[in-house]
Amino acid sequence: MNPEKKEQGSRKAVFLDRDGVINRAVIKNGRPYPPNGLNEVEILHGVEESLHHLKRMGYLLIVITNQPDVGRGITKKETVEQINDWLSSRLPLDEFRTCYHDDTDRCHCRKPKPGAILDASWEHNIDLSMSFMIGDRWRDVDAGEAAGCRTIFIDYGYSEQQPASSVVRASTLAEAASIILKNNL
């Protein structure tokens, strides 16, 4: 990220988590996990139509996803990239920003840190105050808030930490998109 860049961008974006927002997460013991391969990927109901609506309203659509199983040696990077490519070929997404690190790596791009969002905003001239982060985990909400975005939490009732702040909640990406579009935000 360019620390010298001080002026606000002129574009708006919706930053989206991947698993649980765009495609179905694999739930084990009440917690969400990414699909193990392309054969497990299922685009959630209403996602394609919602993304097209947001696109027509002028939003860049950028996926910000943590995929630490690559860094942990559980999943191959090629598998994650294959899933991202498959989703890109079917949905009107502008970009994927994938963090392959684990928490112990302390990288700036792993949510809840806002590095991936901030880097994208600089590269694409995005006004973060006019942008949104939509996610299904507290890390997504915290990253969006730290970057200066408005946030929408898709609440599936996972058995894990919830967002600390009071955020707008939705039950699906379609509902989140409707909130954005209805308020002409």
**pLDDT band for position 158 (50/70/90)?**
very high
> Is 21 in a helix, a strand, or coil?
coil
Mean pLDDT of the 23-35 span? 95
Residue 2 covered by a domain: no
Contact 132, 149 (CB under 8 A): yes
61-92: pLDDT as tens digits: 999 999 999 999 999 999 999 999 999 999 99
| Residue 5 counted as domain residue | no
- Please give the pLDDT value at position 184: 63
Residue 157, domain extent: 12-182
Q: Decide if 137 contacts 160 (C-beta within 8 A).
A: yes
Q: What percent of the chain has pLDDT over 70?
A: 94
Q: Which residue has the higher pLDDT, 1 or 139?
A: 139
Our count of domains for the chain comes to: 1
Q: Across all residues in the chain, what is the average pLDDT? A: 92
168, 153 contact by CB (below 8 A): yes
Which are the contacts of 115, defined by CB distance < 8 A and separation ≥ 6?
1, 107, 108, 109
Please report the pLDDT score of residue 8 as a whole number: 66
| Whether the Cβ atoms of residue 11 and residue 127 lie closer than 8 Å to each other | yes
Under the banding of pLDDT at 50, 70 and 90, the label for residue 104 is confident
pLDDT at 66: 97
What is the domain-level CATH number for residue 20? 3.40.50.1000
DSSP E strands, 127-173:
132-135, 150-154, 168-170
Q: Flag whether 4 is in a domain.
A: no
